[in-house]
Amino acid sequence: MSTTFVWPVRVYYEDTDTAGVVYYANYLKFMERARTEWLRSFGFEQDVLIRDEKLVFAVRSVTVDYRRPALFNDALEVTASIRQFGKASIDFEQSVIRNTRDQEELLASGKIKLACLDSESLRPKPLPSPIAEVLLSVR
């Protein structure tokens, strides 16, 4: 069973829209922050991966279900866990949660598929072993 990583995100004015809620595209930003911090938690910095390994991650597809709106000033938790991975791809399962005194509300859930690419040719490139090992360990 996959370990779940959790990253806190605060909602600022910049994230909201005139409907009084977080703008729907911005959940994708929150989810990417959590994926970036998930990688960082294992010691992988994406600027180093580009520079030293010519490796970039590209988003291949996203699916997001919006259940309840997040509001200005909300303190959210964004999760990231691994659904599966291949030689040159990682599938994340993510959710955006609001914790209030009494309850935990699921606001949005997403499936995000990443491809691992060579930063120059933009062709698929196998995940470096250290990342593959982490993926095996948290699966």
Q: Where does this chain bind a copy of itself (CB under 8 A)?
A: 10, 12-14, 16-21, 23-26, 28-29, 32-33, 36, 45-47, 56, 58-66, 69, 71-73
The least CB distance from residue 1 to a copy of itself, in Å, is: 26
CB 117, min distance to a copy of itself, A = 10
Cβ pair 45, 89 in contact under 8 A? no
Min. distance of Cβ 104 from a copy of itself in angstroms?
20
Catalytic residues: 17
Residues constituting the chain = 139
When the beta carbons of 4 and 46 are compared against a copy of itself, the nearer one is 46
The one-letter code for the residue type at 8 is P
Measured from the CB atom, the residue of 1 and 19 that comes closer to a copy of itself is 19
CA-CA distance, 33 to 51, in Å (whole number)? 20
- Whether 36 and 91 have beta carbons less than 8 Å apart is answered as no
Distance of closest approach, residue 120 Cβ to a copy of itself, in angstroms: 12
